[in-house]
Structure 1
Amino acid sequence: MKLTQREIDLLRFILEQKDGLDIENIRQRLGLSDNQIRYTIGKINQFLRSRKASLLKVEKDCIVIGNRERVLEEFTFFVSHTTPGQFKFTPRQMEYFILLKLLIADDYIPINYFTKVLGSSRTSIVNLLEKVKKRCAREAIQLDYVLRRGYRIPEYSFKRFAFFVSILKKLINIREIYSFYYKDNVYSKVGDLVFFDIFELDVLFEALEKTIEYSKTVDDQMDDTAFLNMMILNYKLMKVEKEAPNPSQQERLKQLSQFLSSLEMNHEQKIEDLQLAQDLLAYLNAKIASAFRLVESRHSTEVLTRHLQRFILRQKQHNPMQDVNLEFVKTHPELFQIIFTALRSYKGQLFQHVTVSEAALVTLYYINGIDDHPVVCQSCPRILIICAEGRAISRVLKGRIARFVDESYIDTIAVFEFKPQQLQDYDYIITTIKLPEVDSEKVIYTENAFSEAFLQKIQPLLMGQMCVTPARDVTKLSQIMEVLVEELGDQIQMDRIEAKIINILASNVIKKPSIASVDFVFDPTMLVYHQNHEGLAWREAVQLSSECLLEHGSIEERYTQKIIRNIEQFGMYMVIAPGVMLVHAGAEDGVRQNGLSMHVFEEPVIFPSTDGMPIQVIVVVAMDKQNSYPVIEGLIHWITQEESLFTLRDSGNRLKCIQKINTLLGKKEGR
């Protein structure tokens, strides 16, 4: 209970006078009637009774105080912890107060109590209680109502008290609680409402003192949410201990003690996780420092440490992050690879099953700490890509290498256009065709330009000369998460929030140019499963696979012959994955219209190579426009995935594969 301004003024005046102050003197000095004086004294006595202090007595129209010092002590304490003046609470503040009062109380609370304390109408309080009901329902907390008795929350659960803490943090700042405890008198009028109308002050001080002492034993590592959770449980435990013994009281004491024990155990585990997170952070920093210059700060270190704590918790609970938008990783592939490898190798592979999404999330947080200019910061390397025809494979490969190097620094040509003197114009030459007349470290030869192994091989060469520019929209994530943790606490599902925010922010990190609609000849009859072609020669397999495009008018007969001659002359450069060939020639070799056909052979076809390379999937592509290349890049990305190949090889998945191909080609249904 607290005193109104009139009650404060009257009690202060009485205490300033000697015993025997007559009511007539009060009338003249304060301008109060006899009835107002007697009513106000009755309210003051209610306050003094709640503080176990001596009451004011009226004897022969004079005011008498029993233990003046005790009354003065309680009055001084109250005034030092309250703010003067009138104050109108907002509807949201009143709603939070009602909710807190119901969450902390064990007995029914009538509507009249709220109208009196908040100085609001019954209609307003009833409307606010409807909102409180909905809040409780969303949290799955039962709220009972009994006519003429009021409202009560019967359930005793940790969720109830954790919900109390989350609402308390929204209503007042935790610094007000410390200020109240240390009698600094620096808090708001809403703080008055909380301290004097929700809590019993003597129990609150005792609970705060016990919690503060505990926090000192754990080296002050408790965050605000953990501190408040422990404080409120201590408060409730002390309150229930003062009740008369009965079965209900004993059950509540048992539950509260269990909640406190669990909280202490969780905090001890949290400290262990914090130490592990700090050690993991140092390990990651050491690995990253070999390739990047880090800009470390107290802020970034704290943000990373908190994130790694949540990462460690998810690993222990076998509940890894899933479905994170990975677009931003393409702008920092080397950083991602270093972090992914480091996480899996940490402390004897403690986190060996870490997912790509988890590693990507750690990478995202590190983007904030990377300087815009690493130790090595030179111009992008000039790259030349050589293919048999210089059109299809080289263009698609250019798109993949553009993840690491600005596309304007990459050129593509056909093998017959290459001249040895061009070596001096480029830093690297990537070729799918062997160049016997050239012997240089600049030349990188590969039979499978689309394998992950090849991309990992060239990535360090290309990235080592590049400046890393953080994606600014995404780097705001650490600031956003810090605010969420501060405002909402650690009890919520932070990982789910992180994933959603990443999907929002990362969606704009890489703004890909829109792909114009490209018309490809393809219908369901052009995905063919061959089951009766045992011992088929490779030339026959190529001709068989090209027939669909020939019949649909996409190519001329000479296009097929050119494909065969290219394989005879240049070898197996058209292999894009184990057992998969993307066969093609140039647009000038007989392409009439963009077209695609796909053929799956039950019995692999043996193509000419050193060991005789078995091919089970042949994709025939014809392209007459440059804007077709992004479409083919998407097709290659899909078909080179192990899961996609597994699905494609099974004829039972034919309809599913046709739908996927149509999607990649931008077609709603086969043409």
Structure 2
Amino acid sequence: MLDIRRVQLVSLLADESKPIKSEILSTYMGISQRSVYYDITNINDWLDSKKLPLIETIYGEGLILPEVTKKVLQEEGVLSHKQWEYHFSSDERIAVLLVVLLTQSGAVTMKKLMDAVQMSRGTVFKDLQELKEILIDEQLTCEFEKASGYFIQGSEENKRRVLLLFLYRIKYQYKWTEKLPFLHQLSSILCIFFRSEKQEFFKKLIFKTEKELGLLMTEESSHLLLIQLLIMIDRVRDKHLVFIESDEISILQETAYYQAAEKILKVLETPFNTTFPESEISYLARQLQSFKVAHFKSMHYSSQELDDLKFVVHRMVMEFQLKACVLFDMREELERNLLAHIKPTYYRLKYNVPYSSFIVKEVQENYPDIFSFTKQVISHLEFYVRKKIPDEEVAYIALHFGGWLSREKKEISIRHRALVVCANGIGTSTMIRKQVEDLIEGLHVIAIQSLHDYEEDCDVDVIITTSSQLEHPTIPVFCVPAILTNENKANLLWEFNRLFSEENRHSLYVDSLMKTIKKHAYVHDEVGLMRSILTILEQPNLMLKEDGKPMLCDLLTNETIQFTDSVSNWKEAIRLASEPLLKNNSIELTYVDSMIQNVEELGPYIVLTKGMALPHSRPENGVQKVGMSLLRVRDAVAFSDQEKHQANLIIVLAAADNETHLTALSQLSDLLSEEENLQKLIAANSVEDVLKVIS
């Protein structure tokens, strides 16, 4: 027989007519996905013993219980009709406590908090202590009065900001659904979250505003604005108003954002029986300023802001090129697009508007080198706004840089033409293009468009989009996230293989094989498995590109590290440092001449810090393959008359393109950011000394 948990699991499947993804079952049951698959295996063994059809795994869709099995289990009374009890995680309990404290009128008793999360007094008290620590960073405090209970103290803007973030997590990160019975008890805001007719009313209002202002709102930013409006209604009803200086209100009243905010709140007054004062209209106008615009327009800035931000963006791009040893072929276009993205970032930082993004971890894990270089150049924006830039903002700026890195001029063999259509803006679009072109040999993205500009009349083989709503009558459409996971990559490869393979019988075989494997086993690395299967089947038409990014220790070896006491001048230093790369055929002699010519024309820009120079040039000037060599000169080499342009370390970089060298260079940059490591390399007398520092 099945135990209680497995009865509950099979009952959940029986309640659904469509496949359910394992992650949703994991959330429902409060167990890991691994445990879900383990339970499914045991349930299938039990069903097999009863000669019943097994739970099926439909690739890309989820798990489903066959109708025949469902009917038999219902007749035998196996299925449980008991309402399933959801158990909060620690993070979820804290989120619920905060929502209750900020959406209830007045102070909240301990009993009410215990009822909200269905936990003991001791657990709730411990959670409140953690919540207090979180609130410190938000300039809020959680207070207690014996006569009334707990309440949150602080400015109204700070309360709304933290409430917005936690409500967003409840709805979209924790993935609760309307089936959870306790939601209606928490707050009126959550009730509206799960009533589709109410959501539709707000979505139409937001869409109209988006069109009028020319905003480019992602699905995420639309959700955030919806929550902001719900919070405003709730707080204004309870007479909790935002305070904004009259001078700032006067300035905002001159903008299109204020006019749009006024229209929105006018529409909301009647159905919600609420009047919004000027301060609330101004508050909403500031929120609207924080959203992306579809295209850069100078009207979105004051003249001073425009000049300042242009300068900031230019400095960021120039320093990124210098630190990453790349040259953007379309630098001015990159700067224009980055400027359009910096605008909402600037206003979010200026007005402390919360910004929720769950791609930070994906960017850091999948593109650590690009994120690292972006983190370094973001200092120009930090200096301008006088604030530290959060990683959420850095990640999206990194998407812009990452997307542009692959846009160098090069010959490619095009077999499939693609269009990228993205609701998240130009930066995300360019990053998606980079990922899919890196993944599939012969795929070329000929254009990228926003969802606003998309037209069905396009001459491409496939459309790749972040919008699940986009369809085309004749062209295949693939929906992908901004950062592709291994599973996303596997699915994309799968579909390309199925659609474009000349050997369709291989596609059918792989399809069948993958379904069988996933039915009986949990696949940890779908991309790796897909690659292995394709290799076995010798699939020549869909070649996977190799990552091919060497580490620093792969490039600096016994053969590429040299030592000398002195050289006659900086030109000799570059020539001597280049010899290992000439010997291993990484570069041609023309590359050495080009590096020297660059210094003669541009000055000692290659001296990145006192003590270290990084000579390099364009790939087309004689690079055969990626390489790096290190020359330690005991007597410092002068690249100019100034002391700061003297170097004992001459590290020659041969970049074959704009990307392959980034991992090694990022590691070198991190290494030399610590003065101690730089001095150890300068003092090194043997290859072993150098390898100890870089390993």
TM bucket by the smaller chain?
A: 0.3 to 0.5
Output the TM-score relative to the length of structure 2.
Answer: 0.36
Bigger radius of gyration? 1
